[in-house]
Structure 1
Amino acid sequence: MAFYTGSLAPVPTANKDAYLDHARRAWPLFRDRGAVRMVETWGEDVQPGKHTDLLRAVEARDDETVVFSWIEWPDQATADTAWQEMSSDPDIGAQMGEMPFDGPRMVFGSFSTLVAEGTDRDAGYYQGFVIPVPAGSKAAYADVAKGAWEEMFRPNGCLGTFENWGEDVPRGKRTDFYRAVDARDGEVIVFSWTAWPDRATCDAAARAMMEADGEMPEMPFDTQRMTWGGFSTLFDSARAG
Structure 2
Amino acid sequence: MSYYTGAIAAVPAANKQKYAEHVAAAWQLFKSYGALRLVETWGVDVPRGKVTDFYSAVDARDEEAIVFSWIEWPDKASADASWEKMQNDPAMKDMPEMPFDGSRMIFGGFSPVYEAGRHSGAGYYQGFLLAVPEKNKAAYTEMADEGWKMFKKGGATGMIENWGVDVPHGQKTDFYRASKAEENEVPVFSWAAWPDRKTCDAAAKAMEADMGDMDLSKMPFDGMRMMWAGFEPLFDSEDAA
TM superposition score normalised by structure 2: 0.97
Q: Which residue of 2 aligns with 1:20?
A: 20
Q: Which runs of 5+ in 1 are unaligned?
A: none
Q: Which residue of 1 aligns with 2:210?
A: 212
SS at structure 1 position matched to 2:62 = coil
Measured after TM superposition, the shift of residue 47 of structure 1 is: 1.2
Q: Which residue of 1 aligns with 2:95?
A: 96
Q: Are residues 213 and 60 of structure 1, via their aligned partners in 2, closer, same or farther at CA, if it must alter by over 3 Å?
A: closer
Deviations 1:157-203 (A, max 9, x none): 00111000000000000000001010011000000000000100000
The one-letter amino acid paired with 2:138 is A
Q: Which residue of 1 aligns with 2:137?
A: 138
The one of 165, 176, 197 equivalent to 1:199 is 197
1:111 equivalenced with 2:110 (yes/no): yes
1:123 equivalenced with 2:143 (yes/no): no
Deviations 1:95-123 (A, max 9, x none): 32200000100000000011110011100
> Could you tell me the percent identity over the aligned residues?
56
Equivalent residues, number: 239
The one-letter amino acid paired with 1:232 is E
SS at structure 2 position matched to 1:117 = strand
Given that residues 86 and 92 in structure 2 are in contact (C-alpha distance below 8 angstroms), is that contact kept between their aligned partners in structure 1? Answer: no
Q: Which residue of 2 aligns with 1:11?
A: 11
Deviations 1:136-163 (A, max 9, x none): 000100000011112x100110011100
Q: Which residue of 2 aligns with 1:38?
A: 38
SS at structure 2 position matched to 1:184 = coil
Q: Using the alignment, how far apart are the partners of 2:40 and 2:211 within structure 1?
A: 35
TM superposition score normalised by structure 1: 0.97
Q: Using the alignment, how far apart are the partners of 2:147 and 2:31 within structure 1?
A: 33
1:171 equivalenced with 2:131 (yes/no): no
1:69 equivalenced with 2:69 (yes/no): yes
Q: Using the alignment, how far apart are the partners of 1:18 and 1:214 within structure 2?
A: 42
Q: Which residue of 1 aligns with 2:49?
A: 49
Q: Which residue of 1 aligns with 2:181?
A: 183
Measured after TM superposition, the shift of residue 94 of structure 1 is: 2.2
Q: Using the alignment, how far apart are the partners of 2:174 and 2:56 within structure 1?
A: 11
Q: Using the alignment, how far apart are the partners of 1:135 and 1:177 within structure 2?
A: 15
Given that residues 11 and 66 in structure 2 are in contact (C-alpha distance below 8 angstroms), is that contact kept between their aligned partners in structure 1? Answer: yes
RMSD (Å) for aligned C-alpha atoms: 1.2
SS at structure 1 position matched to 2:23 = helix
Q: Which runs of 5+ in 2 are unaligned?
A: none
Q: Using the alignment, how far apart are the partners of 1:237 and 1:162 within structure 2?
A: 18
1:156 equivalenced with 2:154 (yes/no): yes
Q: Are residues 21 and 215 of structure 1, via their aligned partners in 2, closer, same or farther at CA, if it must alter by over 3 Å?
A: same
The one-letter amino acid paired with 1:73 is W
Q: Using the alignment, how far apart are the partners of 2:113 and 2:214 within structure 1?
A: 22
Q: Using the alignment, how far apart are the partners of 1:84 and 1:167 within structure 2?
A: 18
SS at structure 1 position matched to 2:24 = helix
Deviations 1:60-91 (A, max 9, x none): 011000100000001000000001110232x2
Deviations 1:4-37 (A, max 9, x none): 0000011000000000000110001001111000
Q: Using the alignment, how far apart are the partners of 1:172 and 1:208 within structure 2?
A: 38
The one-letter amino acid paired with 2:49 is G
Q: Which residue of 2 aligns with 1:83?
A: 83
Q: Using the alignment, how far apart are the partners of 2:189 and 2:208 within structure 1?
A: 23
Given that residues 126 and 230 in structure 2 are in contact (C-alpha distance below 8 angstroms), is that contact kept between their aligned partners in structure 1? Answer: yes
Q: Using the alignment, how far apart are the partners of 1:224 and 1:72 within structure 2?
A: 29
SS at structure 1 position matched to 2:228 = strand
